[in-house]
């Protein structure tokens, strides 16, 4: 899949707050997995240990989205489209020095677009209850439907319905 500009993010360096960088999102290829793995390792305390073979498998299946500014990969999202029309997010992660610049929002927005196109009706993910990312999901319009016991930690189950755009509805700019 060709990478398309899907959004604008705030630059990392302090400067004019109105300036935005173009961010491109597309499916990763296997050669890009080492850069994705570096971002996962930076965030190991949030994600746990994500192996290169898991990421390579996702890249081969076409279920690993990456966000790129210039030639630098700055975030990724590992997903799966289920037969029951639920799009599951396994991992979403942004490079440490690009967090809180809008990259997570852009990755989710692109996943939502792809998911709608593939006939999905819901985005779903699980997140440990004590992670800061829970505030991100709430901000992105997800609802916490239940709390379940994971292998080691309690997990919030978050869902967001995917609206099918109609001619009369306003554009969905939340994601
Ligand atoms: C969680 C994560 C993916 C969010 O991506 P991001 O690029 O940092 O988030 P964005 O800049 O797109 O933020 C979008 C909105 O969510 C808010 N937000 C993001 N992270 C937040 C946090 N930890 N706490 C509160 N609000 C948060 C932002 O302030 C922003 O709000 P705004 O619309 O008012 O500006 C990213 O911070 C990350 O990779 N964290 C470490 C890994 C992780 O925890 N992954 C999830 C595992 S369950």
Q: What is the pLDDT of residues 90-134, one digit of tens each?
A: 999 999 999 999 999 999 999 999 999 999 999 999 999 999 999
| Structure-block tokens of residue 39 | 């971002």
Closest CA to 86 of 126, 146, 139: 126
Enumerate the domain spans of the chain. 4-161
CB atoms within 10 A of CB 85: 13
Whether 153 lines ligand 1, by a CB cut-off of 6 Å, is no
- How close is the Cα of 87 to the center of ligand 1, in Å? 20
Please name the CATH architecture into which domain 4-161 falls. Answer: 3-Layer(aba) Sandwich (3.40)
Cα 37 to Cα 65: distance, rounded to the nearest angstrom: 13
The residue whose C-alpha atom lies closest to atom 19 belonging to ligand 1 is 136
Which 3 state secondary structure label does DSSP give 132?
coil
For 33-53, the pLDDT digits (tens) are 999 999 999 999 999 999 999
Rounded to the nearest angstrom, the distance between the alpha carbon of 168 and the centre of ligand 1 is 31
For residue 150, how far is its CA from the centre of ligand 1 (angstroms)?
22
Ligand 1 pocket mutation pick from 104, 137, 148, 173 by most atoms within 8 angstroms of CB: 104
Cβ-based neighbours of 175, under 8 Å, separated by 6 or more: 105, 108, 109, 112, 140, 141, 160
Q: How far, in Å, from the CA of 133 to the mean position of ligand 1?
A: 6
97-106 pLDDT tens trace: 999 999 999 9
CB-based contacts of 75: which residues, under 8 Å, 6+ apart? 39, 66, 67, 92, 93, 94, 95, 98, 103, 104, 107
- From the CA of 46, give the closest atom in ligand 1: 44
pTM, to two decimals = 0.91
């Amino acid at each position: 899949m060709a990478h398309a500009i899907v959004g604008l993010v705030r630059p990392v360096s302090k400067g004019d707050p109105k300036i935005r960088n173009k961010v491109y999102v597309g499916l990763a290829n296997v050669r890009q997995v080492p850069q994705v793995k570096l971002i996962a390792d930076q965030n190991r305390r949030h994600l746990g240990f994500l192996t290169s073979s898991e990421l390579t498998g996702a890249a081969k299946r076409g279920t690993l989205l990456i966000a790129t500014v210039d030639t630098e990969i700055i975030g990724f999202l590992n997903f799966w489209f289920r037969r029951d029309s639920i799009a599951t997010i396994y991992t979403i992660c942004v490079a440490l020095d690009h967090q809180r610049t809008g990259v997570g929002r852009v990755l989710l927005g692109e996943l939502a677009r792809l998911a709608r196109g593939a006939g999905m009706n819901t985005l779903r993910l699980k997140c440990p209850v004590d992670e800061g990312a829970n505030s991100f999901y709430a901000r992105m319009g997800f609802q916490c439907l239940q709390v379940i016991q994971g292998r080691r930690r309690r997990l919030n189950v978050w869902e967001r319905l995917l609206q099918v755009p109609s001619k009369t509805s306003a554009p969905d700019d939340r994601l």
